[in-house]
Each structure stands twice: as C-alpha cells, then as structure tokens.
Amino acid sequence: MPPLTAVERFFERLFERPSARLFRARLQPIQIQHRIERAMESERLTTSDRTLAPNRFVVHLHPADLADFGDMTGTLAAELADSALSFARAHHYTVVDRPRVDLVADPAIQRADIR
C-alpha cells in the first residue's frame, strides 16, 4: 500500500467514522464509491505498458446499513460497478473484465463502516 494511501485511511478512520457514528448518519452510496476507488488505487499493479486495476469488489456492510438501501441494492451495486469503470478509464487503468460489485451483509462490521 502506498504511504499516502495509508495516511488517507488513517485520517478517514480518525475523523469520518466516529463522526458518522456520533451523529447517526446514514451510509451514503458516495462513501461506498470512494472506498471502491481507494481499493482500485491501492491494489493496482503497474507493468511496463499498463496499469492493471482490480475489477471484483465485495463490499461488507452492517446488515442495517444494507437494509437501509432497500430494494435498490441491486441497482446500487450496478451503479457502483459503472462508477468503478469510469474511475478506471479516467485514470487510464486497465481492467480485465467489466467491474463487478457485490454488497454483502456482515454482522461483524460496525454500523456506518465499510469493508
């Protein structure tokens, strides 16, 4: 993991997560999108002629956070995959296949957290 990515994650854990829990803020799709983008950046592989980015993402959310999205969970996953593709293209990353995002309910995850 690049050093700046590690610093960014540190500050995210330090400021964003506690404030979201304190004010009982609902998890927003843009937060998931940013987490996927950071995962693409931190897990990319640079070769001599291109930069490969991951294209499969399994997003673990607290069951209540996932339930808050209701019936739009499938649509949300597709939109997040489209956003990941747009991000990859904007940064000139190569993906082997069209990105796929799976949203999974995980009771081990704290509320308003994304893993």
Report pLDDT digits (tens) over 64-105: 999 999 999 999 999 999 999 999 999 999 999 999 999 999
**Are the beta carbons of 66 and 103 closer than 8 angstroms?**
yes
CA dist 22 and 15 (Å) reads: 11
Residue 19 has pLDDT above 60, yes or no: no
pLDDT score recorded for residue 109: 93
pLDDT, averaged across the chain? 88
Rounded average pLDDT over 13-36: 76
User: Can you give the pTM of this predicted structure?
Assistant: 0.81
Residue 18 has pLDDT above 80, yes or no: no
